[in-house]
Chains A and B, each alone.
Chain A
Amino acid sequence: MKISARNRFSGRVVRVEREGVLVKVWVAVEKVDEVTTLITCEAAKELELKEGDNVEAVFKATEVIIVKGGG
């Protein structure tokens, strides 16, 4: 499957935590630290997400916010 999203980071699921109807997933991405994502429980179930899974964190360029000054 081809995806248009400009940002794709391969990583490993290090933590999965249910928060109401959402599931918070921590993906460890090499050289970037961790990327967290909130997905629906349904999605997590469908993907059978669990710790140790190799996944890709994907997001569109239009969803990126830039703050100048860094830190």
Chain B
Amino acid sequence: MRVKPKVKVWLEADGESVIGKGGAELLKAILDEGSLKAASEKLGVSYKYAWNYLRIIEDKLKTKVVTSTRGGSGRGKTVLTETGKRLLLKYARFSRFLNSVLENPEMWEACGLSIPDKNTVPGRVKLVKVEGPVALVKIEVGKPIEIVAAISSDSAEELDLKLGDKVTVIIKATEVMINKEEPT
């Protein structure tokens, strides 16, 4: 089973959650529909639920996020206040940024957490030889198979690599060449 990391984004004020995904969806629907009734229908929630949801957001923020006007023919209009728009925009920006980070393999690579099309092999350090700026490290990945890594001495020091350390070796798939023997 392949597992993937996910993030949930919410905005807090004074340590209390103000809006999360649901709240942002509600504000977005109000922005698009211009009415709380149409917005709640779009989201498939009851008008009362949506109304309560907005009250909770406003209570926590201590300011209005929507303004409602009664239409002459009984069709009420609800629009976002400036605060409401800013809140939605802020949520959308954070959410988009964090999700793009999750989807960006280079970001994971930079953290040393994961690399797409990677080969990861667990092993044990058999040799660390630091010479100048480069450290040569031998890792036994299965008797008697060893992988040789040339990493910077700084990295070796940072990882505090010692004999017998358990490590994982990563080899990017694009860096592996295939050698096929000519049939003899």
Binding site for B on A (CB under 8 A): 3, 5-9, 24-25, 27, 29-39, 43, 47-49, 53-71
Contact = CB atoms under 8 A, between A and B. Distances in A.
A36 B122 contact: no
Contact of A58 (B159, B172, B174, B179): B179
28 contacts: A3-B179, A5-B177, A24-B117, A29-B145, A31-B143, A31-B145, A32-B121, A32-B142, A34-B119, A35-B176, A37-B178, A38-B174, A43-B178, A47-B178, A57-B178, A58-B176, A58-B179, A61-B136, A62-B150, A64-B147, A65-B169, A66-B137, A66-B169, A67-B120, A68-B160, A68-B167, A70-B122, A70-B166
B131 interface: no
A16 to B, nearest CB: 10
For this complex, into which size category does the number of interface residues on chain B fall? 35 or more
Contacts, number: 135
A32 B167 contact: no
Q: Is the interface of A mostly helix, strand, loop or mixed?
A: strand
Contact of B167 (A33, A59, A61, A67): A67
A29 B141 CA distance: 11
Contacts of B176: 35-38, 57-59
